[in-house]
Structure 1
Amino acid sequence: MVTKAYGAYAADKPLEAMDIERRAPGPNDVQIDIAFCGVCHSDLHTVRSEWAGTLYPCVPGHEIVGHVTAVGGEVTKFKVGDTVGVGCLVDSCQRCPSCADGLEQYCENGFTATYNSPTQDPPGHTLGGYAQRITVTEKFVLKINHSEDRLAAVAPLLCAGITTWSPLRHWKVGPGMKVGIVGIGGLGHMGVKLAAALGAHVVAFTTSESKRQDAHDLGAHDVVVSRDRDAMKAHRGSFDFILNTVAASHDLDAFTSLLKRDGTMCLVGVPEHAHPSPNIGVLIFGRRSIAGSLIGGIPETQEMLDFCAEHGIVADIEMIRMDAIEEAYDRMQKSDVKYRFVIDSATLAG
């Protein structure tokens, strides 16, 4: 099925309109007309080959919200007209221990990403959500319960939301805990909202004094400018958990020293250059941990979406036309967005 899309034919070429092929729904497939697609920094890294291994043509996009237009004969969970989402994964082996535990993001045989993964569909690799429609196996489609007028702001939950929700849930964040969120961007702003909704006392860390009020507005109880040594020192040894969303190389010791005994700092941003080696003494003398976390599995993503619908949580977004994506990428590199761009997929029609 020919579908209008937007992508790039090479790393040094701008994104442009193109026609792509989508498979007709098989017995277990769900066909979705895409209404909105969030813009993730991973899209930029991939399409411009800032990460190795980009396959062209590259159509990014893994924060997808839309409506079901057809289902295969064996599909039981969805029907035509349902409002659904697709995140970073569209398949996995379904046989390994991680898949059996609903943690498909850690599939031991390699998951299939929504774009840039090998597939039997043309052109031989997956093409993402910067398109009018997509066909996905039922198991990797998610139910959206938010109201229709909020769907654009739901789209970033499929990556930014689950990337922060998964570690918050794994480390059992809740009432009585003091939780730090480092970085107030696409990921961090969702981390603040979710940690606060889970009942934690939330402290936001930012390098910019200008983001203080924004962080409070998002739900942070306290805000610390991390360049202020005295302000940082005042919180030493007091955090149960810190979620570090910053994708730039920086001094991790400044934050690990803020953890209580047995506290954990979880990293969800992958820096272009390695972080300076952490001070092992800081870890040893407090039995502190530095950990990492990758997106989330399908059951956990559905849990997050249901929680957000129940609590009225969505991302803070700026809507753009599809043909404004290059400008959006340039602004995103300058952190000039509060806090996620979302593409109105109707603009692909012209």
Structure 2
Amino acid sequence: MASQHPKGDGARTADAQRRIQSRIDRKEVSDGGTSSDTSKKAVQAGLDRKPENPLPRQHLKKPGNEHDLELEPRFLAPGYLGSGKLEDMVAIVTGADSGIGRAVAVLFAREGADVAVLYLDEHEDAKTTKECVEAEGRRCITIAGDVRDAGFCERAVQQAVDEFGKLDILVNNAAFQQHAKTLEDITDDQLMMTLETNVGGYFHMARAALPHMQEGACIINTTSETAIFGSKELLDYSATKGAINAFTMSLASNLLERGIRVNAVAPGPVWTPLNPADRDAESVSKFGAKSDMKRPAQPEELSPAYVFLASPVTGSYVNGAILPVMGGPRG
């Protein structure tokens, strides 16, 4: 089935996100920007997975394209050998055009799953993800649209089921993030964009997926360290990630009798288009410097956690868990 590239809801939402971003950008310029200490060297535990700070000084237009990043994120996980943990399963991954979602799609394929890639309107990035999944020997479709729209979520799930015949795994990963220095800086438009994408989108996708899921299926949500520790300039985003934690644990209890597991991964800072499409170029150059490892993670350092939770071989007794992948006790 051909991939969908509608010019409707996804493009309109991307335009709305850019308007929110532009308002914050203008205010940051008038306020004089931000600064932080990056004097300590990054810690490389295990394989060398730099980047080290300073990162490229770069600011992307929302929703952010991975192919526009000056420093390409690492998502192929060349040291990871598949072993059939997801053989002949079918997964939907939202926000899979880039970043964590792309890395998850690739490893799911390496473990034997066919993947439906959902994304907003980053068509070139989604095409790359599809090519990488197919290079692993599995089937892939790409579907563009806005997870805030319950109707889109239902249509996307149905398209994936029609294409692949079933649905075993849902990864809720699509997100909107826009920092703001004060609560007064967060407009109603920004608040609703964040809530409807990060919380509403997860509800919509889970509700659409469940009628097609059988015993042994699973849902994995992407939350954040901000759900645990908060973030003074991500007030609305942190609130949604806290809601995702509660949603994960509640839905895990709700679906247990149906044999469907629900868990979440809580990343620390990760080098993806999300933050360069949020902060100013100077702040981006210092992204992750305050984490325990003094650097952001690469997407390929997150994706094995999703495989662990998705596979009945490794995660059959894991339910309602929030798995931290933060590089330390406090991101």
Fold conserved between structures, TM > 0.5:
no
TM-score, length of structure 2 as denominator length: 0.39
Query: Larger Cα Rg: Structure 1 or Structure 2?
Result: 1
Structure (1 or 2) with the greater helix fraction: 2
Higher normalized contact order (CA 8 Å, seq sep 6+, divided by chain length): 2
